[in-house]
Structure formats: structure tokens, C-alpha cells
Chains A and B, each alone.
Chain A
Amino acid sequence: AQSVTQLGSHVSVSEGALVLLRCNYSSSVPPYLFWYVQYPNQGLQLLLKYTSAATLVKGINGFEAEFKKSETSFHLTKPSAHMSDAAEYFCAVRLNYGGSQGNLIFGKGTKLSVKP
């Protein structure tokens, strides 16, 4: 079965510091992976996606993620945090089997706080 685990339900960084949000996946087939961001009282917005092309994926707002098959990881990074990055971030894997093909399985989310 495919699944996603996000390490750390809450991450706090200082403005200007590196942001690292961790995501590990489980999949018996090459996965499609996504990072979404949710600002307070809003829906989810796609940050970036991995679809088996380049392993380093660049997204919106300066975020990027690297697919590492050997580590089954897809961690999200940003070199310098901004106050506006404070939000909840979700990692997701696309199901690749049967009638559920195309459905997403979400991690439980990581809430990012940015201190001035």
C-alpha cells in the first residue's frame, strides 16, 4: 500500500533561516508526489509536484523538493524563510493501482511558524 509520513507536526524557524519540512513515502511503484500549502482559513494550493522527470523540483514562492529514491524521501526546502511562509504544509502521494488510481493520500501536515 502507498502511504506518506510527515516528520514533525510543528516546525518553527526564524525569518531568513532555512526551511526543511520532511516527507517520507511508501510505494511499490514509482510514485507521483506533491506538496501543498494551506494558509489559515483557506483551501490547499499546489506548491510543486514530482512526476518522474527531474529529481529536483522547483515550485512556487521559492520552495523546492528533492526526490530521493534510496531514502524514499521528498523533503521540502526553502533557503530563506519569510513571515508569509507561515502556513500548514501537506505532502501527498498519488495512488497507482486499481479503481483508486489518481486519488491522493495525504500526510497529516506540518505547521510552519516563522519568528521575526
Chain B
Amino acid sequence: NAGVTQTPKFQVLKTGQSMTLQCAQDMNHNSMYWYRQDPGMGLRLIYYSASEGTTDKGEVPNGYNVSRLNKREFSLRLESAAPSQTSVYFCASSPQGISYEQYFGPGTRLTVT
């Protein structure tokens, strides 16, 4: 099993450009998440999808959109990138069940100039 995969690994954008970060999991998990990680801030939830067909805002959703394409895939879109969106983005997935532990992808390092 590959677990959670993310593409691309690195990306540089100019202010105003758009892009989509891709995430896929092969563990048959119901829930998927997008986080951003900034130095000294820990991980902050951008959007999540509790199950296929549903998406909800997290702590820092402004400037982002998401699509839960199917049970495996959950994409994050930046419509008009800003320097404040320079960050490392992590996708995670979680099975249903009492422990709700999350499994993380390797991350995408995004720089907006």
C-alpha cells in the first residue's frame, strides 16, 4: 500500500496564479483532510471531508477550495495564489472508528513569489 500520496512535492507560483494540489489514499478511509504547516504555528486545518460527497471548512479556509472527487481523492485548489499562502501543505486520511487517528502524506512545499 502506498498510503497517502501527494503531488506535486514542490511548486513555485507567481502571485495570482492558480494551481491544484492532488491527494489520494489507498486505505479505503472515509475522511480526508488538508492542513498547512507554518513555522511555529503547528498544523492548521484548511478543509476536511468527513465522507465522500461532503466537504467542510476548517480553521483557515480563505483563499482555498476543495473537491472530494471520489472516496480516494481529495484535491485542494488555490484560485489566485498570494505570498501568504507560501507554506507546506499536508493531506491526511482517517478511517471511521473510535480512535480517529490520521495518516499523513509526505507534503507539498509551495512558494508564492
Contacts and interface: CB of A to CB of B under 8 A. Distances in A.
Given A42-B106, A102-B31, A51 B43 contact: no
Given A103-B33, A103-B48, A103-B58, A90 B42 contact: yes
B88 to A, nearest CB: 9
A4 B25 CA distance: 28
A44 to B, nearest CB: 4
A43 B105 contact: yes
A107 B42 contact: yes
A43 B100 contact: no
A51 B100 CA distance: 10
A43 B33 contact: no
Interface residues of A, number: 23
Given A34-B101, A106-B43, A43 B106 contact: yes
Given A103-B33, A103-B58, A107-B42, A94 B106 contact: no
14 contacts: A9-B40, A32-B99, A42-B107, A43-B107, A44-B90, A44-B104, A46-B103, A100-B56, A102-B31, A104-B102, A106-B42, A106-B43, A107-B42, A109-B42
Interface of B: 4, 31, 33, 40-45, 48, 50, 56, 58, 90, 92, 94, 98-107
Interface of A: 9, 32, 34, 36, 41-46, 49, 51, 90, 94, 99-100, 102-104, 106-109
